[in-house]
Structure 1
Amino acid sequence: MGRGDLTDAEWLLLEPHLPTNVGRGGRWKHHRQVINGILFRMRTGIPWRDLPDRFGSWQTCYDRHRRWSADGTWERIFRAVQVDADAAGRIDWSMVSVDSTVCRAHQHAAGARKRGPRKPGKRTRPAQHRPDEALGRSRGGLTTKIHLAGEGGLRPLAVLVTPGQWGDAPQLIPVLERIRVPRPAGGHPRTRPDHLGGDKAYSSRRNRRYLRRRQIKHTIPEPRNQRANRLGRGSRGGRPASFDRALYKRRNEVERTVGALKQSRAVATRYDKRAYIFHGTVTLAAIRLWLRGRPGVA
């Protein structure tokens, strides 16, 4: 077993949730070897073609990762390992926090076609990236933002990727609606934490109304400008938002979860050209955290 490969304990947790066939009577081969190759690339960020020979064909590793990212296999495995953890009582629902992090996009990820052919003596227009490819341009160049909800045990419950310049507040609801942990005994999946924490970037009237409607207690500080606007409206501004300073200190848990995810270099820097493949890479990094039980160095 090489450094960063799946341990026997992790393989026992993962193997029952892997697909067994590929259609037309075929079967997947060398699951563990191929997944170890995908994990190696995720941890090191090397080009797929540079994978060591011990993982077999680099094309097999790439094709399987691309395919499982496209058809939702990584997402299904992500939910399955959460179900196992919830059944064992290893999910801390008492405090779930939301946060985001910006990942610089490598030039290999910027593969959008420019508008029209280049003409002699004419300046080409900047590359126009499709909005569904989660690439945004800012002063720092091309970036992608990862939004996530993390539980108290320092593991992600839901992840979402967007262009890097997108704000945090509009993504709070989409991230929370991605939390779905099925119950083995049947019934509705668990979708609601006991308490939600977030920084002031998530403070908005729309978000607070949504959380009150779902009866989710929350600790989100109110920015100074929002507080001044509320006070300026008098009685129409409503009551001040409740804020528990002691609970707010637990927001560091989601920040540490982000740090654990970005220990994988292919997550800290986006090398994947397509957004769905990068989302699969982030999801695989989250699966690895659930298999380990706690974040650690790969």
Structure 2
Amino acid sequence: MEITTQQYKIIEDFLPLQRGNVKISNLQVLNAILYIAEHGCKWRGLPKKFGRWHSVYMRANRWAKQGVLGRVFLALQENNVINIQVDHISLDSTAVKVHPDGTGALKKNGPQSIGKSRAGWTTKIHMVAAGHNRAVVFSLSPGQAGDAPEGRKLLKSLENCGWDGAKVIMDKAYEGNETRQLVFDLGMEPVVPPKRNRLSTWKYDVEAYKKRNEVERLFRRLKGFRRIFSRFDKLDVIFTFFIHFALIVDTLISVNRP
């Protein structure tokens, strides 16, 4: 897979301008990052066709620390690259195993959403998706963190989105009173089945609930990138960089996807 010139033109204006005597273009850097993200290899393992690996690494590292791809991700949403009428959103999380490389490097300082769960050292990616091909917002937490508290943080970020009446599709991990009430307070409708041990239950839209697989399908595509399927990076800023990158690539591909 590679990012084509036509796809690159969609995001070209959102990337930093190249200054001075630069031999490697931004498109070459993006395709080099794509190779790293797909194959999960070390930066030193980049094929020579992408240019000097250290030059690619330095630009990618600078972009990560400056939040460049995060801004590109937001710009794609604001410019309606994918035109979706939001009548429902899905909330879910997925666990990512942390590779031994992601638990070392003691001198690296910064937020590290890595925790020990029954599966070992893991990170959770929490995400709100609108349809099967559009991530709205995501966050990271240590693997042992509960889904509902992190989910509420994401939902609160949608307070002024203007999606009144939209359905919020969630699994039973989010069926607590606090989460459901928050959805109501946001002017949206929770679609979540009650747990079996609930003394007082409620009815929910069964047909709408079938669409919960949309966010799971999005997670499945993201985990097609080896650098996301396993967490190799200790710092959240770098792991987030690769998630933003994968979402941008998925968006560019989805422009032509039915």
CA distance in 1, matches of 2:153, 2:26: 32
* 1:61 positional shift: 2.2
Deviations 1:39-69 (A, max 9, x none): 1100110111101111112222222222222
* 8 Å contact kept, 2:36–2:227: yes
Q: Deviation at 1:138?
A: 2.4
Provide, for residues 196-237 of structure 1, a one-character-per-residue CA deviation record: whole Å limited to 9, x for no partner: 101000111111121111111120111123x12xx4xxxxxx
User: Which SS does the other structure have where 2:234 is aligned?
Assistant: coil
The residue that corresponds to 1:204 in the other structure is: 176
**Within the alignment, does 1:93 sit opposite 2:86 as a pair?**
yes
Give the 5 Å matches for 1:103-142: 103-111=96-104, 113=106, 132-142=111-121
- Identity, % of aligned positions: 33
Q: How does 1:268-283 map to 2 (within 5 A)?
A: 268-283=229-244
1:126 corresponds to = none
After superposition, the Cα gap between the structure-2 partners of 1:145 and 1:258, relative to the gap in structure 1 and judged at 3 Å, is: same
| Unaligned 5+ runs, structure 1 | 115-128, 181-187, 232-239
Q: CA deviation at 1:92?
A: 3.9
Cα 1:67–1:130 shift into 2, 3 Å: closer
Q: How many residues align?
A: 257
1:130 and 1:165 map into 2 onto residues whose CA distance is 21
**Contact 2:169-2:190 within 8 A present in 1 as well:** yes
- 1:48 equivalent to 2:27? Answer no
CA RMSD of the aligned region, Å? 2.7
> Following TM superposition, by how much is the alpha carbon of 1:11 offset from its aligned partner in structure 2, in angstroms?
0.9
What secondary structure sits across from 2:179 in the alignment? Answer: helix
Higher Cα Rg, which structure: 1
TM-score, with structure 2 as normaliser: 0.89
Per the alignment, residue 193 of structure 2 pairs with 221
8 Å Cα contact 2:129/2:215 also seen in 1: yes
Among 5, 12, 16, which residue is 1:15 paired with?
Answer: 12
Within 5 Å, which residues of 2 pair with 1:210-249? 210-225=182-197, 227-228=198-199, 231=200, 240-249=201-210
- Secondary structure of the residue aligned to 1:146 is strand
Cα 1:260–1:150 shift into 2, 3 Å: same
AA at the equivalent of 2:71: R
- 1: CA distance, partners of 2:23 / 2:150: 37
- State the AA in 2 paired with 1:150: A
Closer/same/farther in 2, CA of residues 92 and 164 from structure 1, 3 Å limit: farther
Aligned-partner Cα distance in 1 for 2:164–2:109? 33
Could you say what secondary structure the match of 2:154 adopts? Answer: helix
Q: Supply the AA of the counterpart residue of 1:78.
A: F
Structure 2 unaligned regions, length at least 5: none
Residue 76 of structure 1 pairs with residue 55 of structure 2: no
User: Offset at 1:256?
Assistant: 0.6
Q: Distance in 2 between matches of 1:5 and 1:44?
A: 13
Alpha-carbon displacement from aligned partner over 1:147-188 (angstroms, at most 9, x marks no partner): 1111114221112111111111011122234559xxxxxxx7
2:228 paired with 1:267: yes
